Each structure stands twice: as structure tokens, then as C-alpha cells.
Structure 1
Amino acid sequence: MSIQFFPYISFPGNGSDAMTYYHEIFGGELNAMTYGDFPAESAGEFPFPVQPDALAHAQLKAGDLRLTGGDAMDADAPGLESNVYSFLLSPESVEEAEVFIRKFTSTGGETVMPFELAPWGSYYGQVRDRFGVLWSFDVEVGHSGP
């Protein structure tokens, strides 16, 4: 079986800002489309009222990372902060992980779990970005370590 997995985030109205932010963090190529980018005759085809400035769909491609998302159409959409899930990144080295962690924490994110040698033998840590998304970092010791 061949399958790819791309997380999709339904943002509570700040999808354009969030996806631009992730593009700044990870680099790569960002493609985004608002509902206003659709032809006017398409507006009636959606099963919900559309807001022209709302993010309909975005995809960030940065190396092997793929992140997709759009604005939730529910006015009561919950925020993204949760301890139930995280996005696990496995950079090639401890140094590369530390660069990403610094990017998150220097732009409004916070350290949830310090990035350090974990009991299972990998370097592991967590940061929550300024949008509430929890990012975990895991680097096997054999890849690179202090």
C-alpha cells in the first residue's frame, strides 16, 4: 500500500496568517486560495455562506513536509490549542531541530517540553506556536548530538 499523509488544519478565521507564518518558519512553496479567488458563479455551489477573505485552501510544501489548511466555516470553530495532538517533526540533526525551535519561540511560541535527551534515546521536545498548534521534535541520537 502506498499512502501519503498531510495534516489539514481548520483555522478559526486566521488561516492566511497562520499559513504565511508556517511558510516563514519552514520555507518552501506556499499555494493559497481564498473564497474570493473563486469565480463569482461558484459561490452558490458551496453548502455554506462564503466569506471572500476566508482561506479556502492552502498547501505548504517544504522538502518532505506538507501542511494543508483553510478557515473553518463554522463561526463557533474552536481554537487550535490542545494537548491531545501534536505534529511530530524529525529533523536530520539536533542543530536543525534547535533552529526550528528557536524560530517558533522567537516569534511568539512557547516551550512546552525542553528539547533534550529523552529516556528512550532520542532528543525530544515540544513547542506551541503562537496559533496554539503543538509541534514535537524528535531526533535520533545517531543522527547528530552535542
Structure 2
Amino acid sequence: MSVTTTTHLNFRGAAREALEHYGSVFGGRTVVVTYKDAGAVTDEAEADRVLWGEVVGENGFHVMAYDVPSRLPHERGANPFFVSVRGDDGAEITALWERLAEDSEIVRPLEPSGWAPLYGMLTDRFGVTWVLDVTAPYAG
């Protein structure tokens, strides 16, 4: 089992454009999952915004991005990224989560989601927001 870290960029309505731009710069495959695709629409005006997206290049480049929903605070340039830790073993991700969660603020508990067998988000005592999840193939 191995885990990787990836920069996860946060936008308000510009994630798709940013991912397409980074894909054109670095090359690679771009995948975009909208709130509508994931069945996670809370505001119809945001249904086509990016819930999860990434660019993965053959050269090793990898960046993820999403559009912060309007119900959550977001200021461009403030909290512009998360550190994403992904793996394929739920037990290992859970063990990492438990250690990171000490003295952290849990944003979303580590639990199954509509897009991953396990997904959780926390902000550690240093102010870094971490997203941990178990990878799952996207069939969209």
C-alpha cells in the first residue's frame, strides 16, 4: 500500500477553467465531477460547478481542485489549497486520519461518501487543512 499527497486547489466557480488551463500547460488527463454528477447539489445555481477535479500528467504532474460552495466561506487567496492524502487501503487511511485528528478541528468526519469509500477533512493545529480519502475509480 502506498499513499500520495497532492495539492488540492480551492476556487469559487473557476475550478473547471483552472484545471483546463493547468492541463494545457502541463499536459495530461483532466477529470471533472460536478455537484450534479455526484448527486450533491445543495444550490441549483452551483449544480455544474466542480465538486472534484484533477489533472494527471504522464510526467508526474498532479493537481486537484474544486469549487467551494456558496454556503461555505471562501475568499480568493485565503485558504487557497488543501493537502490531499489518497490511498487504496482503508485501514491505512484510517490510521493516518486518527493520528492527524489529534488536536485538530474535524471539518468532515472520515466516512463513506458518494464519491469515495472513505473521505474526511480536518484542519490540524497548525492551520493546514487535510483531505484524506480512499481512491475509487470514476465511471462518469
TM-score range, shorter chain: 0.3 to 0.5
Instruction: Provide the TM-score with structure 1 as the length reference.
Output: 0.45
TM-score by length of 2: 0.47
- Greater relative contact order (Cα < 8 A, sep 6+): 2
Greater share of residues in helix = 1
